[in-house]
Structure 1
Amino acid sequence: MDIIFCDELLQEIFHRLPPPSSSAVSLVSKRWRRLLLSSLSSLTLRLSPNHPPLPSLSSFLSHHTYLSSLSLSSSSSSSAVATTAFSDSLLVSVSAACPNLTRLRISTGPVSLLPLLSLSTSCPRISSLSIILSRPVLSLFFLSYFNCLKSLNLTLTGNGSPDSISDQFTSYSTPLELESLSLSGIRAGDYALTWLWKNCSYLTLSKLVFENCEGVGDNHSFSCFIKGLKSLHEAELKTCRSIISLILLNLAENRSDSLSSLSIHDGGNRESLLHFLRETRCNLRKLDLRLPLDLEDIHLLEIGTKFNQLHVLRLQSCCMVTGEALKTLGLALSDNLEELALTNCDVINKQNGYGFLVELAQNLRKIKILDLSYNHTLVDKEFASMIGSYCDLRTLKLRGCSRLTNVSLISLAKNCRHLESVDLVYCHGIEIEGVEFMILNCSKLRNLQVEDRKVSEAARRWMADKVIEVQI
């Protein structure tokens, strides 16, 4: 009994150790190594298809009694057939050794149907699944066997499409109660997705992600699904120009007001975005746009009119908007906006600000997180005039602002007394003395990102005393 109690106590201690310390535990003794393995709940492995360690993998995983989260990736590239065989064998090993698994991510390559069915039986508690399937995909009905599934990340690869999709399993009596759905690589001919649109619960899905997608399968089924969602809080659309209009138009027709976060990167449509902004019933709190050629002043004016409760606004590579529109938007959002990102913003880079940032800052005094990364023409004078309005700033990102010098850091330390994190990587005008000044004069600083060559030995001692983490 005493031994069992001692083992449980050691396992609890191991749980609380930081990663650098826990890696040394296994060197103490075989018993400590066994206890460490059995206490781990999360594991990430990088494996090579060129080495066949599969019997030993099952044995290795079986020692992790409390393993609930597992991520498997590959360290080399092989043919599709080889990676599928490798991934299938990994699934077999996982099924045999990890009965308590709740989260599985396998990105070594496509997996086949039979190992997935075996996984659903051997690991019935899986709630999060990330897999790759190879075309042609005939059906996604196998997902119905994962009774606890809440999060699905599905990627389709390869060429080819089935001659037909069987309607035998189109509808399933019990809805798939997903809370998060992420799809990547979908094409117009991937009609197996119809099963998802007809069987996912309208009531539970809160996050929907499309990445590198050119289609949604059956457009009608998808449209009905999007319009019917009752609890969608977050939508991310990345590199999906072919389907962006379809998604935005259907989101605009959704009568629910639950959507609070929208992210669109690298592929938009001006008319569809404008229609969504005007017609949607949702009240966005977070908006993240990287649309160099599809975001214009009229969109910013609609955002300011419709979403004055916005807390987070991120604009990247905004080439077609003007400083006047951004200032008008800032005034409209002044009461609630807490995070602002203007990354690689042409208004700053082309016009060198011309006071635009100063006027914008005067209207946004509640900002706590500010990202001005990769604005290469931002200079000390403009920065110093602007930063005085951000007295409540906690996080500042200046990565790639190459014309800023140590002078800007003096203004920063003087005005932003609550600053906790700052990113100065690739700020070529900032030198060792500027970094030292920041460390000595920002009393609440806890995280600093800067090149290693700019951190002196004295600065390292001061950071150790003040518990400041430095990231390169």
Structure 2
Amino acid sequence: MKGHDLINSYLPDELIIEIFRHMHSKSSRDACALVCKRWLALERNSRRTLRIGASGSPDSFVKLLARRFVNVKNLYVDERLSVSHPVQLGRRRGGSQSTLSSLKLPYMIERGESDDSELESNCFSDAGLIALGEAFTKLKKLSLIWCSNVTSMGLQSFAGKCRSLRSLDLQGCYVGDQGLAAVGECCKELQDLNLRFCEGLTDKGLVELAIGCGKSLKVLGIAACAKITDISLEAVGSHCRSLETLSLDSEFIHNEGVLAVAEGCRLLKVLKLLCINVTDEALEAVGTCCLSLEVLALYSFQKFTDRRLTELALLYCQRIGDNALLEIGRGCKFLQALHLVDCSSIGDDAICGIANGCRNLKKLHIRRCYEIGNKGIVAVGENCKSLKDLSLRFCDRVGDDALIAIGQGCSLNHLNVSGCHQIGDAGIIAIARGCPELSYLDVSVLQQNLGDMAMAEIGEGCPSLKDIVLSHCRQITDVGLAHLVKKCTMLETCHMVYCPGITTAGVATVVSTCANIKKVLVEKSKVSERTRRRAGSVISYICVDLSIPH
């Protein structure tokens, strides 16, 4: 009835809070909080996650947040993001002051303070961390990104107050050993710890943390910590028996450290290493001891062996050759995903070995591996019948024969052959006829051999297609595009930048035919005023130099 507030009269607090919890958009929750004072209070009480910048009086801003959001469990503080001072927020209707300016805020910078004091007030420091610990004692997750003014003193105080902490990210924070030791002593439930670029740490702090809360630790990341050595990893191997994920990026770690982790952390599932001083001896221990390993990512390594992998990523490993992949093919029959990026010494023999030995392969992503050609991909098509996701970006030696074999042997959902210049109509037609469940297709930068015939076949054979990238394809015209969209009624995104054969008529055809279209990326000059009025919300423009990517 008009004039009656039925929602507030009949709905209990618990039900309104439950509605708030199902709103995943911050803007939606903020809008609801403005309805009335009751909703504002309930929304604040139900808020579990806060993300704030760490500049512009962040210490005092934390105190303000603590008074308003008392049940926060996850807090993200990022020095790279700015936060507006409260007095800069919007004005009240009919008033000259901001919504918060009438409050007597204790964190306003006094005029008589020195420049140094003003500078420190613009960075998140120990004072903010101490206030955070006192206010959010139920905190489960804290992320401090590049908060360089935070020291061991603040971390010690925080750890003593927030003993239920489970996740701590200290990336770029200059905390020392005492602070990390306090976390180990107080936070016995800690499961996830990130120590990337924590230059103030030494072995002493990490050893004490491992001793203190190693039983609960499951995820550990260490990068660019120059004073962390094998001694720390030996402590991790001895005390962190439940560790499942380890990321190491250090030139100071040797075989001894990785051996200790492999022998002590036998539940390890994910191992990512960029350690130039680690050799095959350590990796053999990983293969022997870590039988639960699912993901192994190696950066700048030589040859290695391993078993029972489901996913392997080799990124920029130019010294790894075919022999290493042949060993993977022989010993890793459970492999389901393989990622190769800029591995210039890996060729067709290696891919043939993978295809023959890893017949459960579901995902194969290869980028800029110029020794891989038709022979290897044909073997994949003949042997890996479960393959669903194939990406061959800028592999110059891969041509139509490879895709014909894939189309005959596999039913892909995802295909990316961007920059594979030898692929043309014949290969894409084979995919269209053999992969009816294809939902994603990227054929960008196939300038010479791909044209309208392939588009028509894709339209006929792939009715489930949702995303297509045609950018830099010179031979595709409005005719082929019309055939494509006529049958691909589920299409949601279409990128067609720098396709000279596609005109304003083709763009109009896409937006008028595809009822589900959400994004069209095209040059601004190819969008007519009528199309802009009709579907301006889904059209994006490219305004930079349209040179061909390398």
TM-score when normalising by structure 2: 0.67
Question: Match for residue 319 of structure 1?
Answer: 370
Could you say if the C-alpha distance between residues 288 and 234 of structure 1 is closer, same or farther in structure 2, counting changes exceeding 3 Å?
farther
1:130 is the counterpart of 2:130? no
Question: Match for residue 38 of structure 1?
Answer: 45
Question: Match for residue 299 of structure 1?
Answer: 350
**2:431 and 2:336 mapped to 1: Cα distance?**
20
Structure of greater relative contact order (alpha carbons < 8 Å, 6+ residues apart): 1
Shift of 1:337: 1.5
For the 8 Å contact 1:355–1:382, the answer to whether it is kept is yes
Task: Write the mapping of 1:40-189 to structure 2, written as runs, cut at 5 A.
Answer: 40-48=47-55, 51-75=56-80, 86-110=124-148, 111-132=150-171, 141-144=181-184, 145-158=186-199, 169=208, 172=211, 175-186=214-225
Shift of 1:227: 5.5
**1:269 and 1:180 mapped to 2: Cα distance?**
29
Question: Match for residue 372 of structure 1?
Answer: 442
**1:442 and 1:6 mapped to 2: Cα distance?**
44
SS of the residue corresponding to residue 86 of structure 1 reads: coil
1:201 is the counterpart of 2:241? yes
**1:303 and 1:309 mapped to 2: Cα distance?**
10
Question: Match for residue 431 of structure 2?
Answer: 361
- Letter of the 2:276 counterpart: S
Shift of 1:408: 4.8
SS of the residue corresponding to residue 193 of structure 2 reads: strand
Q: Quick check: 116-125 or 66-75, which moved more?
A: 116-125
SS of the residue corresponding to residue 352 of structure 1 reads: coil
Q: Quick check: 353-362 or 294-303, which moved more?
A: 353-362
Could you say if the C-alpha distance between residues 12 and 26 of structure 1 is closer, same or farther in structure 2, counting changes exceeding 3 Å?
same
Shift of 1:72: 1.3
Shift of 1:359: 8.2
Q: Quick check: 297-306 or 278-287, which moved more?
A: 278-287
1:172-206 deviation per Cα after TM superposition (whole angstroms, max 9, x unaligned): 3864333433333355864444433433225x51x
Question: Match for residue 285 of structure 1?
Answer: 336
For the 8 Å contact 1:400–1:426, the answer to whether it is kept is yes
For the 8 Å contact 2:436–2:461, the answer to whether it is kept is yes
Question: Match for residue 32 of structure 2?
Answer: 25
1:356-412 deviation per Cα after TM superposition (whole angstroms, max 9, x unaligned): 844873796376454537545373258538747963755535275453554553454
Counterpart among 257, 276, 286 of residue 242 in structure 1: 276
TM-score when normalising by structure 1: 0.76
Identity of aligned residues (%): 19
SS of the residue corresponding to residue 171 of structure 2 reads: strand
Could you say if the C-alpha distance between residues 449 and 285 of structure 1 is closer, same or farther in structure 2, counting changes exceeding 3 Å?
farther
1:83-129 deviation per Cα after TM superposition (whole angstroms, max 9, x unaligned): 99734344223212222222222113344334333333322332222
For the 8 Å contact 2:59–2:129, the answer to whether it is kept is no
**Matched length:** 453
Question: Match for residue 341 of structure 1?
Answer: 391
SS of the residue corresponding to residue 397 of structure 2 reads: helix
Could you say if the C-alpha distance between residues 427 and 397 of structure 1 is closer, same or farther in structure 2, counting changes exceeding 3 Å?
farther
**1:46 and 1:425 mapped to 2: Cα distance?**
37
Question: Match for residue 17 of structure 2?
Answer: 11
- Letter of the 2:126 counterpart: D
SS of the residue corresponding to residue 315 of structure 1 reads: strand
1:430-460 deviation per Cα after TM superposition (whole angstroms, max 9, x unaligned): 55543443344446x4643525846667667
> Unpaired segments of 5 or more residues in structure 2?
1-7, 83-115, 295-309, 399-418, 542-550
Shift of 1:153: 2.5
For the 8 Å contact 2:241–2:266, the answer to whether it is kept is no
- Aligned alpha-carbon RMSD (Å): 4.4
Q: Quick check: 52-61 or 174-183, which moved more?
A: 174-183
**1:462 and 1:151 mapped to 2: Cα distance?**
49
> Unpaired segments of 5 or more residues in structure 1?
none
- Letter of the 1:448 counterpart: K
Question: Match for residue 217 of structure 1?
Answer: 253
Shift of 1:155: 0.3
**2:192 and 2:205 mapped to 1: Cα distance?**
25
